[in-house]
Chain A
Amino acid sequence: MFDFAEFGYDFATNRLVVGGEPMVLHCHHYNVFLQRSIQDAEYIDSAPILVGAAAEVVFAQLTNLLSQTPDIAARKATVEALYRACGLGLIDLSALTDRGGEVSTCSTHYSIGWKEKFGISRAPVAFFSTGFLAGALAAIYRLPPSDVQARQTACCSMGADADVFELGRGPADFTIFAPRRDTPLVAVGNDVEPATSVDRAAVTRAVAEMPLPVNDEGLIPVFGVYATRLHADYYNRISFAFEREMTEAAGRQGVEIAADLFIEAGHICAFNTLGGIMCSPEWDALMSPMLKTREDWVHGIVAWWNACGYGAGKVVDLSPTSLTVRLYNDYESVGYERMYGTADHGVGYLVTGGFAGVMNLIYLGDIHTKPALTPAFYDRLFKGGRAFKGRMTTCQAMGDPYTEIRAELVETAPGGHRLEGAGVSA
């Protein structure tokens, strides 16, 4: 068994670090939308990035976690249990040797999630699992990842009965990234938050301690989505490596295109995961007695957000038309600095889209009435002329003491195009 609860959630920074890797909660909507956004740029060879990013974090984590486990069978058992605890599905590594082997499974988060969201795929989509297995092979047998190969040869998202992964030895067929650096976290400020009847700290603690039920397929169906607890630096690496490739291809415009895509992914995350949470019996059970106003709903969902491993978020200003959230050690900033040093532009994309999404749901979407979270409702709420727009006013990755997001209600003329931007620039 592998239990994330044994690692202890750090309530000072709102992070969960396991084997040296910060872990964050997301859902299949966000996971496959982010991946597809990256894949859709066909002039960028994204597959090696997607596989390499997973291999990087999994190898680092398992090297740490397995350091006291010499027995190969026990090492494999830990890897299988970690995979399942992450909500990635099921894997059986019993046939794996130090030369590689074949891994077949009928349950893979990315394959199932892709099919649920986008329908049948034309090519395999489980890049995270492919990279996970590459990193796992290297870690189990103490091999350099640069001497491991991995590819997916069949995929349930394409209509196959099983996902099949082939692992072998040889020069890596995925990206090997430059090592990440250790960077210190910033001190969390004592910001004064607006008064609310929501006991924010207690909610964060209660939610962080709530068990995430993993089903017999190794999936985590909660709040109407398939949830995962994955490595923050996987998301960071695929996003920032993509952004850098886009910058090489299109200059500064590449950053803006990537920003639009990643902020949209933040909207998707807010709508489906946070929306699903606010419509759930679990939300009603924990929160109902404290929710008197829409502002309370905002404080409540930010308290839940703080239980997801994203860093410490604080509401510093809130009205029916605007929200300012200050984030200390948001995972995007921390990851960027570990990978690439100080940024010359804001990189808090998830949080920019996420908090605009929160305001859309609460003030425009009347989430308290438990509306159906359909694609049509999403389009009405996020693509219409009247919506909250998020922007970064500061970013920790640029050397600021925190990342700050301002979401404001904006209106456009009928037919007008509403754009969300990164806000902070060099």
Chain B
Amino acid sequence: MIKAAEMVHDCLHRERYRYTLDSPVDDGLFAHYADADAFQVAVYDARHLLPQARITFRIEPRDGSFLINGALGLDYVTVTYLRGGRMEAARATQEAILARLR
């Protein structure tokens, strides 16, 4: 569930939101973006150097219409939307996915 959606200043003239969630993000989020032809999911795990670090991730569709940044265990993600005709649809879809997370 989305607890709060806060618009964040974006100097690249995109629209960026910080979505605070009811519970920490887990890797269940990735299941919604499992289609490798449509999405690119990149993770970075630095726990070999910083044992308490969280695994960061970036999720981006091939058309570049949005970008999700976050880390497993954090209770928020940021989503940046490219402005344009598809922005509202992209935003509605991502918010629906985030709303369904437990």
What residues of chain A have their CB less than 8 Å away from a CB belonging to chain B? 29, 116-117, 199, 202-203, 205-206, 209-211, 213, 215-217, 221, 224-226, 272, 279-282, 284-286, 288-290, 370, 372-374
Contact = CB atoms under 8 A, between A and B. Distances in A.
Contacts of B18: 370
Contacts of B44: 210-211, 282
**From A117, A206, A225, A290, residue with most partner B Cβ within 10 Å:** A206
A77 B75 CA distance: 43
Nearest to B77: A281
Nearest to B42: A213
A282 B71 contact: yes
B11 A282 contact: no
Contact of A373 (B9, B49, B62, B78): B9
Contacts, number: 84
Contact of B9 (A209, A281, A290, A372): A372
Given A279-B8, A281-B70, A373-B11, 15 more contacts: A116-B13, A206-B49, A213-B42, A217-B64, A224-B16, A225-B12, A272-B11, A280-B69, A281-B77, A284-B74, A285-B55, A285-B56, A290-B50, A290-B52, A372-B9
Contacts of B2: none
A160 B78 CA distance: 32
Contacts of B11: 29, 116-117, 224-225, 272, 373
Interface of B: 8-13, 16, 18, 42, 44, 46, 49-50, 52-56, 58, 60, 62, 64, 67, 69-71, 73-74, 76-78, 80
A210 B77 CA distance: 19
Nearest to A199: B50
Contacts of B71: 281-282, 284-285
B67 A221 contact: yes
B12 A221 contact: yes
10 contacts: A29-B11, A199-B50, A206-B46, A279-B8, A285-B55, A285-B73, A285-B74, A288-B54, A289-B53, A373-B11
B9 A203 contact: no
Contacts of B74: 281, 284-285
Contact of A372 (B8, B55, B58, B77): B8
A206 B53 contact: yes
A205 B70 contact: no
B8 A286 contact: no
Nearest to B71: A285
Contacts of A202: 49-50
Contacts of B10: 224
Closest 5 pairs (CB-CB, A-B): A285-B71, A206-B46, A372-B9, A289-B52, A285-B54
A286 B12 CA distance: 25
A281 B50 contact: no
A286 B9 contact: no
Contacts of B76: 281
B58 to A, nearest CB: 6
B49 A205 contact: yes
Given A281-B69, A373-B9, A286 B42 contact: no
